[in-house]
Each structure stands twice: as structure tokens, then as C-alpha cells.
Structure 1
């Protein structure tokens, strides 16, 4: 079931840049682009032709996607396509798929919220996925998804306490728990660009068809991997209150403008009704007040 419909006119992609680049990398503003890797997005923050060490990778894709990330980085930034650092919105398998590979190759720091470190330093697994929610094939298959942690402890660092983001001037990180304990989103006030991670998404991730075709809708965090719905609602409401102009999320196409904001506001206000699954695992943290 669609949560909050999004019209195609809210799409934030620049079609010409897609044609020029021809590698499925989509630019949304001059220094922010993203690439869809099967069911998930990775984000490149930095101007084109910036060169090595002058851009940031946000999240690290699915297993097997290192080549696609490398080639997109080299095409966009030139040189060897090496970033200054990697910033993680969270540590689920579809966001850390090649994190260890790229960390070892690039020798760059990895930044994440302290509460997410156990899932990135090899010390703690996530709870298993809940197949009873969402009603789609991906939700039913979700118990097969990996939950074990990756280990990048030797280059893993806390995000700064002042909410600045290393190597990303003007940006700030926002703690947006619910989907995971240490989930973060990234915000730039100047042009109101929001990198939301999986705090909310713009497609129905529980459905294979929607995930592959990128059918647009404003959607809460992926249901099968979200254990704390009370915090998830608080996070969505905090992000909606920012009134972003452009959003790029972990799943789905980037969206922009007043129709996107109206849909995000509707999600925030109707969160319990449309985002929280009607049946979910016993023991889930639930604070819908």
C-alpha cells in the first residue's frame, strides 16, 4: 500500500547530467550527486573535477558494488577517485556492503555516530529483520539479509560533538534514531539540502517492484529493519520541520519542492497511520504518543 504519493514532477534529478555522464550518477545540485546501486543509493558530496581528497562519500553500497563506486568517483572527480573520508548514515548491510574494501583501498577515515560504532567495529550484530511487516517480497525475504557487523575499527571515528561534518563545510549532522540507534541525517541550511539516509525514504522498500523501478512515494524507514517506531516518528518530524528544498534518501529518487515538502509533512503528521506496521514484533520499542 502506498504511504504518501509523490508526483513525478517532484523529481530532483537533472536529466542532462545523467545523459552526459552515462553511468547512472544523478546530480541534484552542483556539489551533490548520487548513484543507485540496485536497491540503495550512495552519495557523492563535492564539485565535479574536484580531484582526490576533495570530496566525501556518504554510505558504501551493497556487497559487490566497489567497482561501480570507484568508476563513478573517478568519472565525477578525476584522479584516482579517492575521497577525503566516508560518512555513514548507519551500518545496515546495504549501506556498508563495500565499506571494508574501500577503507582498505583508500586508507581514509570513516565517521559515524557513536551509537552506531558497535555495528561498524565488529562488536555487535543488528536484530534480525521482521518479515511480518510491509507486505512485499523484500520484506518476506528480509530474514535472509545479513545482520553481522563490519569491522573498520582501525579507521572509525566519532562525528564531532558540535554537529559539524568533517570535510563538508556548511553541513551539519542530525541524530535521527529509530531505524537504527545511531542513524544520522545530513543537512545544509544554505540551500536546504537534506541527505536523510533511511530516516525516511522515497520508495516502498518492502516491495521488489517498487524498489527496482523506484516508484516514488514518501515512505517511513524500511519496515523490516526498524525496531524503534517511537524514535523513528520523532526523527521524521524533526526533519520535516526543517522544510527541506531537496531530499536524497537511502532508497528511491531524490525529490524537491513544495509537493515533496507537503508529502513529508503528511508523513510526519500521519506517521502512526501510514508508516508504522499494523503487525510488528513483540518487544519492539513503541512510543506513539
Structure 2
């Protein structure tokens, strides 16, 4: 079926990091792969022919790189069972339509996120006036338009299970977007947090380029609801995750993760919420 592209899939963004093209295994079945400044996640044990799931779909124009990385990990002509979206900002769905032209697979997202992948609603414009570093100032060039993948868009199950990811549950973690979700596995404390929190100061161009580790709140220029964002971080901190892969930054594990996430939750307004910006000030 026909799909409708937009600037969210077509407008290449000239930003990158030292980790672009690198993959980091997290346990036996999670693999964080960095595309420019954002992470996609492969879930499944590596090996030709093994079943697997893709979480998020990278930057605009990144479909080819994702296909190559997937083939290297799971073999040629071995599509995922599904694609799960933490949310549908341009840097998490940029390669999606390119992938769906090769893989006839369902794409699961929270019901509140579906309008952004079925062409019904665009996100608010990024806030380049927000307090923050150079990336915040550059955010005016970031696309906010929806795409349309048609009938391949599916709602995540209402019982909080994650399709083709046994033992995982999805958690509604709004704030960064209305329908943002994180994925959690109770058995070993693995967390896929999307942009509910990140492990790099995402508004700082230097820190983004160098991937300097810092457990931080969601990107300030694209977070319209700070009260919900705070409650989401607090909910994730209460899980005391043993390992976390976030949308931006390096994976983190163990005591450092739990300590820094608890500090972020406790001091969220001080550490995460900007002093000024249209979303902080109640503008749309």
C-alpha cells in the first residue's frame, strides 16, 4: 500500500556524534546501535535466522544503515517480527518508511501516538527559544510533520504486553510526547526508556558530539508537558532498573544508573526543567 513521507523522513540532519555507527550489547538479547545522535535497539539473540524486534527507527535517511546493521546481526532476508515505537519524533521514525518498503511488518505505538504515524496530526514546532545549548538553538530545522504508514500502524495491546517481546511490558511515560512509552522487563530490570530520560545533555552540541555521560531529562526543545515528564521519570526511577538504553546517549547499568535516576527524579525541576521557553511558559 502507499505510504506518505514528510520532512520527518526526508530532511537529512547534519548532526552526528563520536558513537555514530557503533553498537553496544546490553545483556544477551539487547543491542543499542547509534545512528548519528540517536539510538535504535535490536531485541533478540544475535544469529542468522533468529527472531527479533526493532525498537525505534532512527534519523531521516537512515533506513539503509538500519537494514545493513540488521542483516549483520540477524542475517539477510530476516525481517523483524515487529517494530515498536517509543514515540514518533523525526529522530525515532526517520528511517521507518524505507524499512517498511523492505519489511512487511506491523508497527506498534501507544494510541495517542498513532496520529503522528497515520498522517492525522503534526507535533508542535520545536522551541528554539528555550533555555539550553546550541542544539536547542538549532532545533528550528528539526521537522515536526507526521508521516502516514497506513494499516501497518497498530495500537500496543491494552494489557501492557509488548508484541513478540515475552516478559516485557510497556509503560505510558508521557511528557516528551503524549503517547510516549518505555519498555521494562521485570526479570532482569532491563529498561528501554526512549526519551523519557536520556544519558547525555541533549541540548549541548559539544556533549551530544562527544556523548559525555550524564543522566538528564528529556530534550528540552521538544518536551511540551513538563509536569507529566516529571511524573514519568519518577515512575521509572521507582522501578530501580538494572540497565537502561535511552534514545540518546550511552547505555547505563547498575548502581550508577539507579543513583543518578533517583537524583533526577528527586531534583527534576532543578536538573531538567528549563528556566524559560514556550512550553514552560504555557505557550503552544
Q: TM-score, normalised by structure 1?
A: 0.88
Q: Do the aligned residues in 2 keep the contact of 1:228 with 1:284 (CA within 8 Å)?
A: no
Q: How has the CA–CA distance of structure 1 residues 227 and 161 changed in structure 2, closer, same or farther, with 3 Å as cutoff?
A: same
Distance, in Å, in 2 between the alignment partners of 1:42 and 1:255 is 15
Q: How has the CA–CA distance of structure 1 residues 81 and 68 changed in structure 2, closer, same or farther, with 3 Å as cutoff?
A: farther
Alignment match, 1:47: 45
Give matches, 1:122-133, under 5 Å: 122-133=119-130
- 1:98 matches 2:95: yes
Alignment match, 1:79: 76
Q: Do the aligned residues in 2 keep the contact of 1:134 with 1:206 (CA within 8 Å)?
A: no
- 1:138 matches 2:135: yes
Q: SS in structure 2 opposite 1:82? A: coil
Give 1:116 deviation, angstroms.
Answer: 0.3
Q: Structure 1 unaligned runs (5+)? A: 1-17
Once the two structures are overlaid, the 10-residue window that deviates more, 29-38 or 204-213, is 204-213
Distance, in Å, in 1 between the alignment partners of 2:160 and 2:33 is 26
Q: Structure 2 unaligned runs (5+)? A: 1-18
Give 1:133 deviation, angstroms.
Answer: 2.1
Give 1:211 deviation, angstroms.
Answer: 1.1
Alignment match, 2:36: 38
Return the match for 1:29 from 24, 27, 30.
Answer: 27
Q: SS in structure 2 opposite 1:67? A: helix
Kindly provide the CA deviation profile for residues 156-196 of structure 1, in whole angstroms up to 9, marking residues without a partner as x.
00000000000100000000000000000000001100000
Kindly provide the CA deviation profile for residues 86-123 of structure 1, in whole angstroms up to 9, marking residues without a partner as x.
00000000000011111121010000000001111011
Q: SS in structure 2 opposite 1:232? A: helix
Q: TM-score, normalised by structure 2?
A: 0.90
Give 1:64 deviation, angstroms.
Answer: 1.5
Please tell me the root mean square deviation across aligned C-alpha atoms, in Å: 1.6
Once the two structures are overlaid, the 10-residue window that deviates more, 64-73 or 166-175, is 64-73
Kindly provide the CA deviation profile for residues 28-48 of structure 1, in whole angstroms up to 9, marking residues without a partner as x.
110000111011000000001
